[in-house]
Amino acid sequence: MAFVLHTGLPNKNAFKALIAAAYSGVEIEVVKNFQMGVSNKTPEFIKMNPIGKVPVLETPDGPVFESNAIARYVTRVKADNPLYGSSLIEYAQIEQWIDFSTTEIDANLRRWLGPRLGFEPYNAQTEDVIIGSLKRGLDALNIHLASRTYLVGDTVTLADIVMGCNLYWGFTRSMTKSFTSEFPHVERYFWTIVNQPNFLKILGDVKQAESVLPIASKKPTAQPKESSKPKEILKPKEAKKKKLRKKSQSPR
Amino acid sequence: MAWWWRWPTQLVMEVLHSSLPNKNAFKALIAAEYSGVKIEVVKGFQFGVSNKEPNFIKMNPIGKIPVLETPDGPVFESNSIARYVSRLMADNPLHGSSLIEYAQIEQWMDFATTEIDPYIGRWLYPRMGFFPYNAQRALSALNAHLATKTFLVGHRVTLADIVMGCNLYYGFIWIMTRNFTSEFPHVERYFWTVVNQPNFRKVIGDVKQADLIPPIPSKKAAVQPKEAKKEASKEEPKPKAVEVEEEEVPKPKPKNPLDLLSPSKMILDEWKRLYSNTKTNFREVAIKGFWDMYDPEGYSLWFCNYKYNDENTVSFVTLNKVSGFLQRMDLARKYAFGKMLVIGSEPPYKVKGLWLFRGKEIPGFVIDECYDMELYQWSKVDITDEAQKERVNAMIEDQEPFEGEALLDAKCFK
Ligand SMILES: N[C@@H](CCC(=O)N[C@@H](CS)C(=O)NCC(=O)O)C(=O)O
Ligand SMILES: N[C@@H](CCC(=O)N[C@@H](CS)C(=O)NCC(=O)O)C(=O)O
């Protein structure tokens, strides 16, 4: 087998490559029994991706990481792939929406969901700001889609694959109907995309989240770190920790 | 990849809508220098005004800069603009010379965008008061890659270096002081090499690393990062050309106070090896071995107990919290060993742990830099108390049932 994808499943970042492969007639084998948190920490894995994240695609010429880069590579394996449009400006627009999806949609989704998945400290004030940025991104996307079925041109392109997978994560984890109804063209677009046969093959049936993931911890841990000087921030914490640290040593 | 015909670039003009200096605009301008493409930057662009006008919103519905106006229509997103610009030159070496090189170039462009850029926005450090674990993790990965390489892919500058260089640029001039970057010597060397390439210098000018981390201007600005002050903070180019050859060797970091403790007969790595290699007879071999080597003068043992167990209602979220904690403890790898148990067969799960630390107290830098510490109640193990000692054994061993309950998971920090 020529291409091997290292990832746990389901994983929306791995789906990008798998859907692009379905469109491109490229075969990708997914490694069996991949164990998140174990398989991606082995020295062999770190050799493929120094940050130890999934997905990684093993190609005959070496490994590639970063899910968008993998999806692009898979797309290029097929010469003159229509997933990349049919002119230089279409190519640029496809790239533009891939990047937009990553920086304006996915980055905000990650920051919104990270704390709720337990990965990062939760802070209500910050969350409001993040949701605000996400809505700004969705709003711009909504405007663009008002008169279009797909992001670029009249067929599915790589931009729709990346956008669809990123939105998939949002729609299934946190963007409930009452949240998305503010963006009707995004809604219509999302359902059109995930019901394309090549998406269905990989994603299966998609069900929108009925509620936002609950907050992992109500403890506002990030709060004391908001003040301006690191040294001052630590004071209140240190006071609480007195019993722990009788001889308070100042590190570094 | 197909090559598409278009007007020869000399006959048409690409117009960039952006204020300057702006690292995202620099990407396109530097790529243009390498590609022999001419870009005109609109005059009198007013950030916060020009990009809110209806004509601008028509080009980019989110109203952000930069936007490139091409003869065939507008393109936004700085990486896409840079890609477009470099494509105007057929067989541009900025894209490498093979399919796999191109994939690696795109991989590092995306890495710069998803793993580096989000963590070095100049608002982030002052807001959080520390470099988030994620930033350090990404920079160490980059550092590891660059240990044997001058540029990211191949032996010359590619589009990946343009995007990475511009993203690192804000970090270096605003928040990443020498003291911080010296931990990543290959990233330092790389950054100065890149920004001193003639085509970079033409666009960016002299680069001066931040001396001090700027304080947050006000509470409000801290919460809603704004770009608006950019013009005010415009760097005065100082005549401090940093030549790669002149680069001094990074100063060694100040020693961790734990390295100054009097030597202990207990070697942490030996214990970790014993723990990992013991497959059978765990009590007789590993646990006995532990107490044989344990040195209460040089080390201390601590129980920890999660303070908010009633919130642990979803199993995978609870597990994420624990793995996140262990990831953030990475900074203490040389000085600690830990076991974390997630207890119970149904929610709410209890999280309890055992930690071995160098020194008689919990190291100060761990308390300061790992926010999880305050989510747990900590108590020092009294090793003269047999019951406590037995609890230590049970935790090292992942004994099940633990305190009468099943284990959902047991994680080890080693
Ligand atoms: N920008 C990367 C992000 C990859 C990523 O965050 N992967 C997560 C799973 S979706 C991961 O591997 N996490 C494991 C870890 O952080 O150690 C991409 O698009 O590939
Ligand atoms: N992902 C975008 C980010 C662009 C961006 O954030 N631009 C900022 C200035 S560097 C902006 O225009 N902000 C104006 C606003 O948020 O209204 C890119 O790379 O082009």
Pocket test for ligand 1, best of A6, A13, A36 (most atoms within 8 A of CB): A13
Q: Based on the structure, what is the number of domains in chain B?
A: 2
What is the SS3 assignment for B341? strand
Average pLDDT over residues B19-44: 96
From B167, B227, B231, give the residue whose CB has the most ligand 2 atoms within 8 Å, as the site to mutate. B227
Average pLDDT over residues B189-200: 97
Kindly give the pairing relationship between strand B376-380 and strand B407-413: unpaired
Q: What's residue B371's pLDDT?
A: 80
Does the distance separating the beta carbons of B104 and A64 come in below 8 Å? Answer: yes
Nearest Cα residue to atom 11 of ligand 1? A53
Q: Does B405 reside within a domain?
A: yes
Closest residue by CA, ligand 1 atom 13: A53
Residues A193 and A142 in one domain: yes
Q: Are residues A117 and A166 in the same domain?
A: yes
**Chain A residues within an 8 Å CB radius of B78:** 99
Query: Does the pLDDT at position B237 exceed 50?
Result: no
Q: What is the pLDDT of residue B118?
A: 86
Confidence of residue B321 (pLDDT cuts 50, 70, 90): confident
Residue linked to tokens 């996307």: A141
The proportion of chain B whose per-residue pLDDT surpasses 70, expressed as a percent, equals: 85
B397-410 confidence digits (pLDDT tens): 999 999 999 999 99
Residue nearest to atom 6 of ligand 2 (CA): B64
More confident residue, A152 or B333: A152
Provide the CA B162 distance to its chain's centre, in angstroms. Answer: 19
Residues B294 and B407 in one domain: yes
Q: How many angstroms does the Cα of residue A56 sit away from the middle of ligand 1?
A: 10
Q: pLDDT tens digit string along B306-316?
A: 998 988 888 88
Residue of A nearest to B379 (CA): A244
Contacts of B250 (CB under 8 A, 6+ apart): B182, B185, B188
> Are residues A55 and A30 located together in one domain of the fold?
yes
pLDDT digits (tens, 9 = 90+) for A65-78: 999 999 999 999 99
pLDDT at B369: 80
Please check whether residues A100 and A131 belong to one and the same domain. yes
Asked if A112 and A161 sit in the same domain, the reply is: yes
Candidate ranges A119-133, A140-154, B266-280; pick with highest mean pLDDT: A140-154
Residue A244 falls inside a structural domain = no
User: Does residue A227 sit within a domain?
Assistant: no
The whole-number average pLDDT for the span A242-252 is 31
Write phi, then psi, for B362 (nearest 5 degrees): -70, 130
Is B169 exposed, middle or buried, given 0-12, 13-18 or 19+ CB atoms closer than 10 A?
buried
pLDDT over 70 (residue B193): yes
Q: Which residues of A touch B87 (CB under 8 A)?
A: 88, 91-92
For residue A18, is pLDDT > 50?
yes
The predicted pLDDT at position A97 comes to 98
In a domain, B120, yes or no: yes
A203, A220, A245 - which closes a domain: A203
* For the CA of B48, the nearest ligand: 2
pLDDT digits (tens, 9 = 90+) for B44-76: 999 999 999 999 999 999 999 999 999 999 999
Same-domain status, A89 and A72: no
Domain endpoint, select from B169, B204, B239: B204
Render pLDDT for B345-404 as a digit per residue (tens, 0 to 9): 999 999 999 999 999 999 998 988 888 898 999 999 999 999 999 999 999 999 999 999
Residues with C-beta less than 6 Å from any ligand 1 atom: A 11, 13, 40, 52-55, 66-67; B 114
Ligand 1 centre to CA of A29 (Å) is: 19
Kindly state whether residues A186 and A95 are assigned to the same domain.
Answer: yes
Question: Which tens digits make up the pLDDT trace of B91-122?
Answer: 999 999 999 999 999 999 999 999 999 887 65
For residue B129, give the nearest of A49, A117, A233 by CB distance.
Answer: A233
Tally Cβ neighbours within 10 Å of residue B235. 13
Q: pLDDT, tens digit, for every residue of A182-234? A: 999 999 999 999 999 999 999 999 999 999 988 766 554 444 333 333 333 33
Looking at residue B128, what is its pLDDT?
A: 60
Smallest CA separation from ligand 1 atom 17, residue: A53
A144 → chain B, closest CA residue: B61
CATH number at residue A17: 3.40.30.10
Choice among A3-7, A25-29, B332-336 with the minimum mean pLDDT: B332-336
pLDDT at B120: 79
Same domain flag for A130 and A40: no
Instruction: Please list every residue in chain B whose beta carbon sits closer than 8 Å to the beta carbon of residue A66.
Output: 106-108, 110-111, 114
User: Per residue in B159-187, pLDDT tens?
Assistant: 999 999 999 999 999 888 898 899 999 99
With contact defined as beta carbons under 8 Å apart, do B374 and A224 qualify? no
- Residue nearest to ligand 2 atom 12, measured at CA: B64
Which ligand has the minimum distance to the alpha carbon of residue A101? 2
Residue B366 near residue B325 (C-beta atoms within 8 A): no
- For a mutational test of ligand 2's pocket, the pick from B22, B49, B64, i.e. the residue with the most ligand atoms closer than 8 A to its C-beta, is B64
Residues with CB under 6 A from ligand 2: A 103; B 22, 24, 51, 63-66, 77-78, 227
pLDDT higher than threshold 60 for residue B6: no
Q: Chain A interface, mutation test: which of B317, B349, B376, B378, most A Cβ atoms within 10 Å?
A: B317
Residue B230 has pLDDT above 90, yes or no: no
**B18 and B126 inside one domain:** yes
Q: Is the pLDDT of residue B291 over 90?
A: yes
Residues of B whose CB is below 8 A from A61: 98-100
B291 shares its domain with B174: no
Q: Residues B20, B168: one domain?
A: yes
- Yes or no, beta carbons of A68 and B138 under 8 Å apart: no
Which domain-ending residue is among A77, A105, A133?
A77
The residue range of the domain holding A109 is: 84-203
Q: Nearest chain A Cα to B6, which residue?
A: A88
Coil/strand/helix, residue B195: helix
What is the tens place of the pLDDT at every residue in B117-166? 988 765 566 566 667 778 888 999 999 999 999 999 999 999 999 999 99
Q: Which tens digit of pLDDT belongs to each residue from A43-54? A: 999 999 999 999
- Does residue B35 have a pLDDT over 50? yes
A66 and A23 belong to one structural domain? yes
**How does the average pLDDT of chain B come out, rounded?**
86
If asked whether residues B186 and B286 sit together in one domain, one would say no
| Probe site for chain B from A78, A120, A126, A165 (most B CB atoms < 10 A) | A120
Report the alpha-carbon distance of residue B183 to residue B164 in Å, rounded: 18
Give pLDDT, residue B238: 38
Residue A176 has pLDDT above 90, yes or no: yes
**If you measure CA to CA, which chain A residue comes closest to B369?**
A234
pLDDT of residue B240: 38
Same domain flag for B176 and B284? no
Residue A246 has pLDDT above 50, yes or no: no
Dihedral sign of CA atoms B374, B377, B382, B388 in order: negative
Q: Considering the domain boundaries, does residue A222 fall inside one?
A: no
**What percent of chain A has pLDDT above 70?**
85
Q: What is the pLDDT of residue B130?
A: 65
pTM (predicted TM-score):
0.76
Contact criterion met (CB below 8 Å) for A55 and A6: yes
Q: Using the atom order of ligand 1, give the atom closest to the CA of residue A68.
A: 19
pLDDT at residue A234, as a whole number = 31
The residue range of the domain holding B404 is: 268-413
Residues in CB range of A63: below 8 A, 6 or more apart: A48, A49, A56, A57
What is the pLDDT at residue B216?
59
The total number of structural domains that make up chain A: 2
Q: Are residues B18 and B116 in the same domain?
A: yes
Residue B308 and residue B193 share a domain? no
B318 neighbourhood in chain A, CB within 8 Å: 118
- C-alpha–C-alpha distance, residues A9 and A3, integer Å: 17
Regarding whether B289 and B200 lie in a shared domain, the answer is: no
Alpha helices in B310-383 (DSSP H): 315-328, 364-369
- Is pLDDT at B229 greater than 90 in this prediction? no
At B88, which CATH number? 1.20.1050.130
Distance B63 CA to ligand 2 centre (A): 8
| Residues of chain A neighbouring B90 (CB-CB closer than 8 A) | none
Statement to judge: residues B188 and B274 lie in one domain: no
**Torsional sign, CA A61, A66, A67, A73:** negative
Which pLDDT belongs to residue A145?
Answer: 98
Residue A235 CB coordination number (10 Å): 11
Residues 6 or more apart in contact with residue A206 via CB below 8 angstroms: A168, A171, A172, A194
| Together in a domain, A175 and A101 | yes
Residue B335 inside a domain? The answer is: yes
Q: Which ligand is nearest to the CA of B112?
A: 1
pLDDT at B239 over 60: no
User: Is there a domain that residue B110 lies in?
Assistant: yes
Same domain, B305 and B378: yes
CATH code for the domain of B402: 3.30.70.1010
Query: What residues in A contact B107, CB-CB < 8 Å?
Result: 64-66, 69-70
Which domain CATH number covers A193?
1.20.1050.10
